[in-house]
Structure 1
Amino acid sequence: MSSINGDLAVFMLSTSATTTRRVLTVLGATLALLTTLVTGSASAHGAVSDPPARHYDCYQRWAANWQSPEMATQDPMCYQAWKADPNAMWNWNGLFREGVKGNHQGAIPDGQLCSAGRAHSGRYAALDTPGNWKTVDKPRSFRLNLHDQSAHGADYIRVYATRQGFDPTTQRLRWSDLELVGQTGKISTGPTTPVEVNAAGRTGHHVLYTVWQASHLDQSYYFCSDVNFTG
C-alpha cells in the first residue's frame, strides 16, 4: 500500500509541475502580447510585409503555434529566433532606433544590421544569425510593400540588396555587402506603401535591407527580408 501511495504522490507532483509549466508559458505569451498592445502601439509602427521582414515573417507563420516542436525542423531560423526572445516577434512593429540623425552606418555596426545594432537591449539579435531563412520568390524588378500601422509617413525609404556572391546562410550582413536598389522621397505611408525595386544582375537567395525614416520623429526602422530572385 505504501508503494502505491508513493507512486501516486510522485504522479501528482509530476502532473502539478507540468501544469505549472504550461500555465507559466501561457502567462508569458500573454504578457508579451500585452506589452505589444499597451506599449508597442505608442512608439512603433510597422514592418516590411512583402517580402516580409524576418521577424514579421516568423510572427505571421508561427504566432498561433509558436511553441510547436515542429518549428525546429520545419523552420529552424524562426525557431532559434523565437527561442532567443519571443518578444522580437510579438513586437514585430518595433524594430527601430531613435536619434540616428541620418547616420545609419555610424549607428549600426557591421554584422548587426538586421537587429538595428542590437536595438532594445538585443531583443532582435537573433535576426542577425546567418542561416537558411525562408525566402520569397521575386523577379528582379518588383514592388516592395511597407506596412505602417500608424500612417506616420516617411521622410524616405531606401531599399538595398546584397551583391551577387553574398551568402546569407554563412555571412553576417555588412554595409559593404549592400547596393541601393530602390528609394523614395518624402511620402505618405499606410498598410500599403509600395517602393519600386530594381535588383538587376542577381539570382538566388539575397537579403533586402530596408531603411525607413519615419516622419513624425527622428525614428529609423531597419528590416532584413529574404528573397529568392528568379529572374
Structure 2
Amino acid sequence: MRSHDHSGVSRWALRALALVGTAAVGLTTWTGTASAHGTIVDPPSRNYSCWERWGDDHQNPDMQQEDPMCWQAWQDNANAMWNWMGLYQNNVNDNHQAAVPDGQLCSGGHAQNGRYQSLDVPGEWKTTDVSNGNITLNLYDQAQHGADYFQVYVTKQGYDPTTEALSWNDLELVEETGYYGSASNYYVDINVSGRSGHHIIYTIWKAGHMDQNYYICSDVNFV
C-alpha cells in the first residue's frame, strides 16, 4: 500500500464546481455538503456523467432515444443525479462485500434507501475512451475529508455490462492505496492491460473523517 498526498484541480473538477453552484441555487432537492462529499469525475461515475450531460436539460424527451440509460435513471429518481456526491454507506467496517450484495454494486447496496438503484441496471451506458496501460482516476471531494484508502477494481474480459448486473466475481482488484490528506481532488494511478471494449472501473473510497464508504461505477471503453 502506498501513501499519497496530491493537490490540484482537474478540468473535470472545475466544471463540477461551477455546476454544483448552479444546482444548489436552482433546486430544493440538493442536500448540501453535510450529507455528500464527492465522486469520480474522470472517468466520470454513472450518475455524475448523466448529470453533466443532462443536468441543465433533464426534461428533454430526446434523452430517451439518445441516452436511454440516463433516461431510465432520471425517471427512477432524479435526485440520484442531482446528489451525485451522496452515494455512500456508513459503518461498513471494511467488509464491503457484506455491505454491498452482488447486483447492487453500482448503487452501493441500494444506499440511501434505494435512491441510486437505477445505476445497477445493465445497458448501454455512455463510456469514456481509455487506453490499456496507465490510467489516472480523479475523485473530486467537496468536503475535503481525505481518504483512509481507495480500492480500485476493473471488470474482467468477457463481462458484458450491457446485459449482466455487476457482481464481485466480475471484478479484478488493480490498486489499493494508502492514506490521502485533506484536498479537493485525489488522483489514483492504476495499470490495466488485456482488455478491450466496454468495462466498468469500480472504485471504493473510504473517507478519512469517519467510516464512510463510497461505491462508484465508471463506464469506460478500452481502445
Question: 1:32, 1:87 within 8 Å by CA — same for their partners in 2?
Answer: no
Structure 2 residue 78 is the aligned partner of structure 1 residue 79? no
Q: Output the CA distance in 1 between the equivalents of 2:85 and 2:183.
A: 13
Q: Structure 1's 202 and 151: CA in aligned 2 closer, same or farther, altered over 3 A?
A: same
Which has a greater percent of helix? 1
* 152, 155, 165: which one aligns with 1:162: 155
How many residue pairs match? The answer is: 200
- Secondary structure, counterpart of 2:94 in structure 1: coil
- Secondary structure, counterpart of 1:205 in structure 2: strand
- Structure 2 equivalent of residue 103 of structure 1: 95
Q: What TM-score results when the alignment is normalised by the length of structure 2?
A: 0.86
* 47, 54, 78: which one aligns with 1:55: 47
- Structure 2 equivalent of residue 41 of structure 1: 33
Q: CA RMSD in A?
A: 1.6
Q: What TM-score results when the alignment is normalised by the length of structure 1?
A: 0.83
1:96-145 alpha-carbon deviations (Å, 9 max, x no partner):
00010100000010000000010111100000000000000001221011
Identity of matched residues, %: 56
**Higher Rg:** 1
Q: Structure 1's 182 and 68: CA in aligned 2 closer, same or farther, altered over 3 A?
A: same
Post-superposition shift, 1:189? Answer: 4.8
- Structure 2 equivalent of residue 207 of structure 1: 200
Q: Structure 1's 217 and 30: CA in aligned 2 closer, same or farther, altered over 3 A?
A: closer
Please identify runs of 4+ aligned residues in structure 1 that moved more than 6 A.
29-32
* 60, 68, 74: which one aligns with 1:68: 60
- Secondary structure, counterpart of 2:32 in structure 1: helix
- Structure 1 equivalent of residue 129 of structure 2: 137
Question: 1:148, 1:191 within 8 Å by CA — same for their partners in 2?
Answer: yes
Post-superposition shift, 1:213? Answer: 0.2
- Structure 1 equivalent of residue 167 of structure 2: 174
Q: Structure 1's 189 and 209: CA in aligned 2 closer, same or farther, altered over 3 A?
A: farther
